[in-house]
Structure 1
Amino acid sequence: MSVLAHSAPGASAPHVWGSADPWTHALRTGRGPLFLHRRDGWLLPLDVERWCAEPDEADRTVLGRCRGSVLDIGCGPGRLVGSLAARGVPVLGIDVSAEAVRRTERAGGPALVRSVFETLPGEGRWDTVLLMDGNIGIGGDPAALLGRVAEIAGPRGTVIVEAAQDEELDELVEVRLHDGRRAHGGAFPWARVGLAALLRHARAAGWAPRLTWAADARHFAALHR
């Protein structure tokens, strides 16, 4: 899985991210450094090496909770999509990066170059939707994103979301991609939410927690409608 992709309607981030040379280079080489850069100089490291590797133990706790058909939003290089496809699970990854989609396909999984805010195959019928590796930040509005996911998932569908380590973290920032030397491209909105904040946003969007868990210092929630 990768992380960042897509944006809310009307924002420019899909074009920024989908054509971002540092991200394309990171996907092709399978390594960073790569960061999200805030105007005040703050840098958030992006875990490119992990995303381009095989699923780790924490990932496997998520894979084991996927039921039925699975949509991976912001699939990145496709470690989860490829693993699910190898198990015979009906799965699709979407990402605004063409290179991410190519890597996902090479990993053995189907994927489309698509934003979550565009029309998607199987809308209203997906059993499990994944928002991993910080992808709850897409568009800078977690409640709006979860509202969109409610349109995508089936009536009894589940969304599995990865939250930030800081449980109370709830912030909206404008960021650019940074390769460790300089920032690239235009700024786009991004949200970071810990578990407590995630559950507040989820309730506002009509989701309720089914289960929360932690693995290898990563935090997850499975939500149902």
Structure 2
Amino acid sequence: MISSTPVLRQIDAPWHDEGPYATALRTGRGPLFLRRADGWLLPLDVERWCAEPDAADRTVLARCGRGPVLDIGCGPGRLVAELAALGRPALGIDVSPAAVARTLGSGGSALCRSVFDPLPREGSWGTALLMDGNIGIGGDPAALLTRTASLLTSHGTIIAEAATADVDECVNVQMTNAASYLPGTGFPWARVGVSALRTYADLCGLSTTETWASGDRTFVQMERRS
């Protein structure tokens, strides 16, 4: 049996229970940013994350094929809860205890776990989701896609949300609710547009099967090659 207790390295992470990420999830609102040391800010859409699935989310849910769905970095769990309401087996994982608590409270199933930790049902997930910029987890898209592919069944699919800009970068950022930056508290994060994401998919043994846009969001669906 795998414990759902977060490992020690997660306790001091930027999303710990006393940090701005957890506060934003508990209140359901921002402001919340990823901030680079040079002052560049990426606004995080907390209000959308904490709302019901929107039209763009539903294009993703409609493409979750047969088999159980794993939502990597599930946040407050809107997609996991919606899949549960539809009678679909789904599990969210997130390194934030506040995110897991909110997901459970909304009717979804979730574990406080990193995608790089041991996970239930490895090799048998039908679909894995990397929404809301989560292709950036760890700052290494190739490592993330390789690990995610290993969790899937043969010909399982990954649906990832791409950056709207044509970008491929790994930067050191800080989670913040203000314009201040505290040296030494950053973590690596990647931003990947559609072209770069398709390239990473090919390098990781994945076939890109569909790319689509809904509103101002863009998604790429990849399939694990046998």
Deviations 1:58-79 (A, max 9, x none): 0000001111210000000000
Q: Give the superposition deviation at 1:15.
A: 3.8
Q: Does 1:86 align with 2:82?
A: no
Question: Match of 2:135?
Answer: 136
In structure 2, C-alpha distance between the alignment counterparts of 1:91 and 1:22, rounded to whole Å: 27
Structure with more contact order per residue of length (Cα contacts < 8 Å, sep ≥ 6): 1
SS of aligned partner of 2:197: helix
Question: Match of 1:5?
Answer: none
In structure 2, C-alpha distance between the alignment counterparts of 1:115 and 1:60, rounded to whole Å: 25
Whether the 8 Å CA contact 1:17–1:96 is kept in 2: the answer is: no
SS of aligned partner of 1:53: coil
Report matched runs for 1:38-187 at 5 Å: 38-67=36-65, 68-166=67-165, 168-183=166-181, 186-187=185-186
Whether the 8 Å CA contact 2:127–2:156 is kept in 1: the answer is: yes
In structure 2, C-alpha distance between the alignment counterparts of 1:15 and 1:219, rounded to whole Å: 32
Q: Give the superposition deviation at 1:183.
A: 3.6
Whether the 8 Å CA contact 1:82–1:104 is kept in 2: the answer is: yes
TM-score by length of 1: 0.91
> C-alpha root-mean-square deviation of aligned residues, in Å?
1.4
In structure 1, C-alpha distance between the alignment counterparts of 2:109 and 2:14, rounded to whole Å: 20
Give the paired residue count: 213
Share of identical aligned residues, percent?
60
Question: Match of 2:29?
Answer: 31
Question: Match of 1:213?
Answer: 212
CA shift in 2, pair 1:126/1:98, >3 Å:
same
Q: Give the superposition deviation at 1:18.
A: 3.5
Paired AA for residue 28 in structure 1: R
In structure 1, C-alpha distance between the alignment counterparts of 2:10 and 2:161, rounded to whole Å: 21
Paired AA for residue 41 in structure 2: L
Q: Give the superposition deviation at 1:17.
A: 2.9
Whether the 8 Å CA contact 2:80–2:103 is kept in 1: the answer is: yes
Question: Match of 1:16?
Answer: 13
Unaligned 5+ segments in structure 1 are: 1-11
CA shift in 2, pair 1:120/1:141, >3 Å:
same
In structure 2, C-alpha distance between the alignment counterparts of 1:162 and 1:13, rounded to whole Å: 24
In structure 1, C-alpha distance between the alignment counterparts of 2:207 and 2:142, rounded to whole Å: 13
SS of aligned partner of 2:39: coil
Paired AA for residue 126 in structure 1: W
Q: Give the superposition deviation at 1:182.
A: 2.6
Whether the 8 Å CA contact 1:14–1:115 is kept in 2: the answer is: no
TM-score by length of 2: 0.91
Whether the 8 Å CA contact 2:72–2:129 is kept in 1: the answer is: yes
In structure 1, C-alpha distance between the alignment counterparts of 2:180 and 2:29, rounded to whole Å: 17
Whether the 8 Å CA contact 1:13–1:188 is kept in 2: the answer is: no
